[in-house]
Structure 1
Amino acid sequence: MTMMKFLIVFVVLIAFTSHLCESFELERKDFESEKSLMQLYKRWSSHHRISRNAHEMHKRFKIFQDNAKHVFRVNHMGKSLKLRLNQFADLSDDEFSMMYGSNITHYDNLHAKAGGGGRVGGFMYERARYIPSSIDWREKGAVNAIKNQGLCGSCWAFAAVAAVESIHQIKTNELVSLSEQEVVDCDYKVGGCRGGDYNSAFEFIMQNGGITIEENYPYFAGNGYCRRRGPNNERVTIDGYERVPRNNEYALMKAVAHQPVAVAVASSGSDFRFYGEGMLREGSFCGYRIDHTVVVVGYGSDEEGDYWIIRNQYGTQWGMNGYMKMQRGTRNPQGVCGMAMQPSFPVKY
């Protein structure tokens, strides 16, 4: 009897896991009528466990239709880029940016006016001689598992923390998960879930004796009160931070050859937001303003061309298990989605 119960539970778990991992596919018949589109919307809501009341569902149905049509159209262009109708599919570009984005350009400008500048001395990798043709810091054990910022514009804190986690591992051979929530709660120069700037986060970590591990200060996707340090509060420190020269992908490549780098991107556009797999190229619709931060954890080349490896923090259901392949070496010096405009990295000796 006990064995039978175990088998039943096991089968249920398998079915539940399969449902979560199942790809949400679109077919041409889904777009044949208003009725079929509504059935698609309900199926999408059930798949992603998103509940809307009747009024809200009616309001969001048109947005969902437009997003679904765009995803289907792009996926049938014969390109490697494939989009996915993910959990953001009934939000408009502006709503998505407001809920999940960070007004990084605003806070970066405020930070610059306040005199924030990082480590004096310019770009430390300017004269780097050995630049490998490819590198993936995940393979070197310097990148933590994908995290999820949730319904909070804390991407700036996640990008800063991920970059610090990586340089700490590179210098000490110890990979630890650090606390984004401490940065969100305690860096008063920026807006917490309303947005911020990873350079401000680097400065906060420098000026406050480091940052604690995630276990000591867990993330909850909201603004909280800054907690005082307790006894035996393990902290990871950095010695400074630097900005990579703007609009220079080769300089960015020099930096990423030595460590993961935080970058700011436009993300509210449908091609970035619904990214599923393949190469996001120059000309893809990322949005009209820089509103998100991610981390470049490597680069390489394949049959599609040169690419960057982008680590996001929307959870593993987004992209390729949380990652994106983005074109490297574009005609526009700003790079795809503006990723070469504001790169920075922490310094640790």
Structure 2
Amino acid sequence: MKIILFSTLLIVWVLYEADCTETQGNIAKAYLKYLQDEGKLGESPQNLKTRYQLFKNNIRMINEHNSKQSSFKLGINKFSDLSDKELSQFHGLNSSLLQDEEDLLSSSPSLPVSVPDTVDWVAQGYVTPAKDQGRCGSCWAFGSVVALEGSHKKATGVLKNFAEQEYLDCVFTTRDGCTGGATHVCFDFNKNTGHMASQTSYPYTATDVDRSECDLTKFKNSLISGKVTGRVTSRHIETEENTVKLLSLQPVTLFIEATRTLHQYKEGILMDQTCWSQTNHAVAGVGYTPQYIIVKNSWGASWGESGFFKLMRGWSNCGLYISAQYPVVELTGEEETEEGAQPALYDHSAIVGPDPPKPDPDCSNQFGDSYCDRMSRASCHNPQMREVLCRKACNNCWIF
């Protein structure tokens, strides 16, 4: 007890030494409370000043954003005193692996002509509660599992809570899955092995230290009444319209650029103006409304809106519309022997603040049309994509 008290007093002294003004002193008190709430009081004094500066920078960003008219709010959370390098540990999409994608098991999506105005797979019981990948770059496993759970529910009527750790241990045999991966190999693994355990029998450990630990005989197979027979991959759907059409069919794996703004997201309809569509994070689309896309993340239920977030429609959304994947699940004819998993409860109907401003095509653009056109040509695949990525707003040219 005395050691804990001494450590706490030492932390307070270090913070107040860094900031002796009244305003900064209040931030120091807020950071001490943050350390207590997040269980970070064990941080060494050597690192404390650096983390405190990161915390102050995030406080400044959050307060500045929340003071403006906006469709979303930011907030303090477990990411608020981490560096950019540390934040990358909570991503994990390896784009170089996507370039080597094997298409033998893949088919192009058959998109419906018309779709409902609103689709909510969470409310329909196709989605399990939010999970937490921890400090392991395993978003690719979590994003894949959401799509697999949705495909299995669609084919069999049973929602399973599948094990991300099986992907971590078994998909990559020569590299550490916590350093990143790709989603298509997960569905190919399920097809080739016919195996996927439940999270109950194969708990998540956020580690992939020993690549020789893949022994499927140790874990009961939960692919009973349904089996993976292939996957649907759309590498360059490039439009919000096609993404929505895919989402009308079932939950799908999507990719996004996870920015500091996304890390500090708290609630509302996110319109991130800080990204460049350089995707580094796998997530899952689980529905949509006329205003936004519903996305399930893998940063735990305490982050965002119960682990989910809403992305505004009508914007590029940090590369979310570039690619989509899901596995094809067909019935095996075997009788299901396991009970279904508990579905997520997420009421996404609340909208923070007024509708966001739309770009005015007649307003002035301080960067100039030539700059905007040049930047968009360098970062897009075709004229249709350029129109989405390059948006004018008064005195700004937003390039996503």
Pick the TM interval, shorter chain. 0.7 to 0.9
Name the CA distance, whole Å, in 1 between partners of 2:97 and 2:322: 15
Does structure 1 residue 273 correspond to structure 2 residue 259? no
8 Å Cα contact 1:272/1:286 also seen in 2 = no
**Match of residue 95 from structure 1:** 86
* Distance across 2 between alignment mates of 1:289 and 1:162: 22
Q: Give yes or no for contact 1:104–1:264 (8 Å, CA) kept in 2.
A: no
Amino acid at match of 1:64: F
The code of the aligned residue for 1:182 comes to: E
Gaps of at least 5 residues in structure 1 are 1-30
1:190-339 correspondence runs (5 A): 191-223=176-208, 224=210, 225-230=213-218, 233-235=221-223, 237-244=227-234, 245-267=236-258, 269-281=259-271, 283-286=272-275, 289-301=278-290, 306-330=291-315, 335-339=316-320
CA displacement, residues 265-289 of structure 1 (integer Å, 9 cap, x when unaligned) = 111x2211111111111x5224773
Give SS of 1:174's match.
coil
Q: Equivalent residue for 1:58?
A: 49
Using the alignment, how far apart are the partners of 2:200 and 2:142 within structure 1?
A: 15
Unaligned runs of at least 5 residues, structure 2: 1-20, 331-400
What's the counterpart of residue 346 of structure 1? 327
TM-score of the pair, normalised by structure 1: 0.82
Task: Report matched runs for 1:101-250 at 5 Å.
Answer: 101-109=91-99, 111-112=100-101, 115-116=102-103, 118-120=105-107, 122-125=108-111, 128-188=112-172, 191-223=176-208, 224=210, 225-230=213-218, 233-235=221-223, 237-244=227-234, 245-250=236-241
Q: Deviations over 1:95-141 (max 9, x none)?
A: 201x11114212212x32xx345424x2222xx13411100001111
Q: Residues 79 and 32 (structure 1 numbering): CA distance in 2 closer, same or farther, change over 3 Å?
A: farther
1:218 CA displacement: 0.9
Residue 60 of structure 1: how far off its partner (Å): 1.2
Aligned length: 303
Distance apart, 1:205 and its partner CA: 1.3
Quote the Cα distance in structure 1 between the aligned partners of 2:75 and 2:180.
26
Deviation at 1:167, TM superposition (A): 1.0
Change (3 A) 1:40 1:133: same
Report the CA distance shift for 1:140/1:124 in structure 2 as closer, same or farther (over 3 A). Answer: same
Q: 1:339 to 1:210 in 2, by over 3 A?
A: same
Amino acid of the residue matched to residue 195 of structure 2? Answer: G
**1:46, distance to aligned residue in structure 2 (A):** 1.2
Distance 1:33 1:118 in 2: 59
Taking the aligned partners of 2:35 and 2:276, their CA distance within structure 1 comes to 25
- Give a deviation string over 1:215-239, Cα, whole Å, max 9, x none: 2211111115212324853335311
User: What code does the residue aligned with 2:308 have?
Assistant: Y
CA contact (8 A) 1:270 1:287 kept: no
* Displacement after TM superposition at 1:144 (Å): 0.6
Closer, same or farther in 2 for the Cα pair 1:146/1:38, shift >3 Å? same
Question: CA 1:36–1:119 in 2, change beyond 3 Å: closer, same or farther?
Answer: same
What is the percent sequence identity of the aligned residues? 28
Task: Pick the structure with greater CA Rg.
Answer: 2
Q: What CA RMSD, in Å, does the superposition of the two structures yield over aligned residues?
A: 2.0
**1:67 counterpart (37, 58, 61):** 58
- TM-score, normalised to structure 2, is 0.72
Q: In the TM superposition, what is the alpha-carbon distance from 1:243 to its structure 2 partner?
A: 1.8
Q: Which amino acid aligns with 1:88?
A: F
Secondary structure at the counterpart of residue 300 of structure 2: coil
Per the alignment, residue 83 of structure 1 pairs with 74
How do 1:28-47 and structure 2 match up within 5 A? 33-47=23-37
